[in-house]
């Protein structure tokens, strides 16, 4: 497919704006004028519309395909959340306005959104307070670890280590290292954190345990109370990676179990797709004792019900992201939460889990499922003996399905991690199962053919290492 520049035809125009009354030379001083004409492609409006429509169709997206990408929760996000975020009262607001003299009264609605979102997340998770600043899940983890560090520093604790089980998300150890901690990795046992292994790793240097729940195997930790009790003994804090909260919304509350810090992914769990490289929001909730360290400014409410930003928190870790984080994502999430309500959120997590278990059970004769028990919103399977997960994933693309996550988590060989999400129907899941069985059969009967996939897409199988290391960004790729 040719780029717009390669399609350019001299003199072709799309839109003819009215001729301005004054020329650029009359309006601007000489040093601001360009010396050469801009080198823009010359095209008709239809050329441009077709180009971008074609480009958009070369990709898989939730609006066009079932997208069971485990851990990423590529569910359908209802369009009313986009409409809420696009309201001119939000989009035309300058982020500094709330902090300007007089600005407060023009920003009450936006401040109330932030306030309402914090109240909703507190109620959903049972935490004492939230910051909405972090701009993604991993940014939330970094913020959470900074809060843990601030707490220990304030108490005079000398702590250097954070325990991360091998069933935690890959970003957890990365965030803890960025925040200056050494990582102690512990092995899970039968897919769970093993209290004895944890005990052996615990000493006074441990600042926190960072765990993902449901973990990367899609399983819910069964030893939570024991884990909490053990960490308390050495004044270590408990960090809960709640990026995949869509599995537990309305079923359990992290704060009630005794966790000190949790981050959520508003993208994934509420509304806004994940994985598009677009903006996200990773709010961090904390227990009472970590409240003084939360980033500023915090949205607060006066006795007369007006909202303001409070920067008066001397122990705060400061700013973690500009202004209030990705405000538009928070608005989408809030719209979603308010429209669904408590019962709706509970139904969402119920169906997320039901759908995953349905897939797990109907696929158990097709794939190897190492931890074959009731899962949460996703499960992990291995390609059948002698087959490659990569071939099956690429085969699914030819059959019109985005592939599940593959080769993650690292603790399961040749793994595929499907996450159907709550928004898919039984018909869609059944059709996916059929496609997957077909791809597996092809891998078994004609492995050379399976190795060729995908054959129907604009781009065939890439050498992904070479694609990253020797990038070729020329115009006319076939």
Ligand X SMILES: *Cc1c(COP(=O)(O)O)cnc(C)c1O
**147 Cα distance to chain centroid:** 21
| One residue of 243, 309, 345, 348 binding ligand X per CB under 6 A | 243
Residue 213: name the closest of 376, 398, 340 by CA.
376
Closest approach of ligand X to the CB of residue 12, in Å: 42
Structure tokens at 266: 């508003």
Q: Binding of ligand X at residue 71 (CB under 6 A)?
A: yes
Give the binding-site size for ligand X (rule: CB under 6 A): 13
Q: Binding of ligand X at residue 265 (CB under 6 A)?
A: yes
| One residue of 126, 137, 144, 418 binding ligand X per CB under 6 A | 137
Q: How many whole angstroms separate alpha carbon 297 and alpha carbon 295?
A: 7
Closest approach of ligand X to the CB of residue 310, in Å: 27
Q: State the Rg of the chain over Cα.
A: 25
Which residues does 355 contact at the CB level (< 8 Å), separation at least 6?
420, 421, 422, 424, 429
Closest approach of ligand X to the CB of residue 168, in Å: 8
CA dihedral 81, 86, 90, 96 (to 10 degrees): 110
Q: Binding of ligand X at residue 244 (CB under 6 A)?
A: yes
Q: Binding of ligand X at residue 212 (CB under 6 A)?
A: yes
Angle between the 108-125 and 327-362 helix axes, to the nearest 10 degrees? 30
Q: Binding of ligand X at residue 192 (CB under 6 A)?
A: no
Closest approach of ligand X to the CB of residue 95, in Å: 21
Residue 237: name the closest of 148, 326, 319, 156 by CA.
148
Q: Given the complex with ligand X, which of 217 and 439 has the nearer CB atom?
A: 217
Q: Given the complex with ligand X, which of 238 and 309 has the nearer CB atom?
A: 238
Closest approach of ligand X to the CB of residue 161, in Å: 20
Closest approach of ligand X to the CB of residue 416, in Å: 16
Scanning 363-401, the segments in alpha helix (DSSP H) are 389-398
Structure tokens at 397: 């693309």
Map the footprint of ligand X across residues 11-70, applying CB under 6 A. Answer: none
Structure tokens at 303: 């006795």
Contact of 34 with 230, CB cutoff 8 Å: no
| One residue of 241, 378, 419, 424 binding ligand X per CB under 6 A | 241
- Opening angle at CA 39, ends 278 and 31, nearest 5: 100
Q: Binding of ligand X at residue 171 (CB under 6 A)?
A: yes
Interface with ligand X by CB under 6 A: which range of 239-247, 327-335, 354-362, 411-419? 239-247
Q: Binding of ligand X at residue 138 (CB under 6 A)?
A: yes
Closest approach of ligand X to the CB of residue 239, in Å: 11
Q: Given the complex with ligand X, which of 72 and 439 has the nearer CB atom?
A: 72
Q: Binding of ligand X at residue 107 (CB under 6 A)?
A: no
Q: Binding of ligand X at residue 136 (CB under 6 A)?
A: yes
Q: What is the DSSP string of 411-452?
A: TSTTEEEB---TT--HHHHHHHHHHHHHHHHHHHH-HHHHHH
Contact of 313 with 298, CB cutoff 8 Å: yes
Taking CB atoms, the residue at the shortest distance from ligand X is 137
Closest approach of ligand X to the CB of residue 387, in Å: 26
First to last CA, the chain: 6
Write out the residues near ligand X by the rule CB under 6 A.
71, 136-138, 169, 171, 212, 241, 243-244, 265, 280, 282
């Amino acid at each position: 497919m040719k780029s717009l520049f390669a399609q350019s035809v001299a003199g072709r125009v799309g839109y003819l704006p009215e001729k301005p009354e004054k020329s650029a030379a009359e309006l601007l001083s000489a040093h601001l004028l360009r010396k050469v004409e801009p080198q823009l492609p010359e095209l008709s409006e239809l050329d441009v519309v077709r180009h971008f429509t074609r480009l958009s169709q070369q990709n898989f997206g939730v609006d066009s395909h079932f997208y069971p990408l485990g851990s990423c929760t590529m569910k359908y996000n209802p369009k009313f959340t986009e409409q809420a975020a696009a309201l001119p009262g939000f989009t035309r607001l300058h982020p500094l306005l709330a902090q300007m003299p007089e600005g407060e009264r023009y920003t009450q609605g936006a401040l109330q959104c932030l306030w309402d979102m914090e109240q909703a997340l507190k109620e959903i998770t049972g935490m004492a307070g939230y910051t909405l600043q972090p701009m993604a899940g991993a940014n939330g983890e970094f913020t959470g670890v900074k809060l843990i560090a601030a707490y220990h520093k304030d108490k005079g604790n000398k702590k250097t280590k954070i325990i991360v089980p091998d069933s935690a998300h890959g970003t957890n150890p990365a965030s803890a290292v960025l925040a200056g901690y050494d990582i102690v990795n512990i092995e899970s046992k039968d897919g769970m954190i093993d209290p004895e292994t944890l005990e052996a790793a615990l000493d006074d240097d441990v600042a926190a345990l960072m765990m993902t729940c449901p973990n990367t195997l899609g399983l819910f930790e069964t030893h939570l109370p024991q884990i909490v009790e053990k960490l308390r003994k050495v004044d270590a804090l408990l960090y809960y990676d709640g990026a995949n909260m869509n599995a537990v919304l309305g079923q359990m509350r992290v704060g009630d179990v005794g966790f000190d810090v949790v981050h959520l992914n508003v993208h994934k769990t509420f509304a806004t797709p994940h994985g598009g490289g677009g903006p996200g929001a990773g709010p961090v909730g904390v227990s009472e004792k970590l409240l003084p360290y939360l980033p500023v400014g915090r949205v607060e409410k006066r006795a007369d019900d007006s909202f303001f930003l409070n920067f008066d928190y001397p122990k705060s870790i400061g700013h973690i992201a500009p202004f209030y984080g990705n405000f538009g994502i928070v608005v989408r999430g809030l719209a979603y939460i308010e429209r669904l309500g408590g019962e709706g959120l509970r139904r969402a997590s119920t169906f997320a889990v039901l759908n995953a278990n349905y897939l797990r059970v109907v696929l158990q004769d097709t794939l190897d499922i190492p931890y074959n028990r009731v899962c949460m919103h996703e499960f992990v399977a291995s390609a059948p003996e002698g087959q490659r997960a990569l071939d099956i994933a690429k085969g699914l693309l030819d059959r019109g399905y985005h592939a599940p996550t593959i080769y993650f988590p690292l603790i399961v060989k040749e793994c595929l991690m499907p996450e159907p999400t709550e928004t898919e129907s039984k018909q869609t899941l059944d059709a996916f199962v059929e496609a997957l069985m077909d791809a597996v059969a092809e891998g078994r009967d004609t492995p050379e053919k399976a190795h060729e996939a995908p054959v129907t897409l604009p781009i065939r199988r890439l050498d992904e290492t070479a694609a990253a290391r020797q990038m070729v960004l020329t115009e006319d790729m076939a």
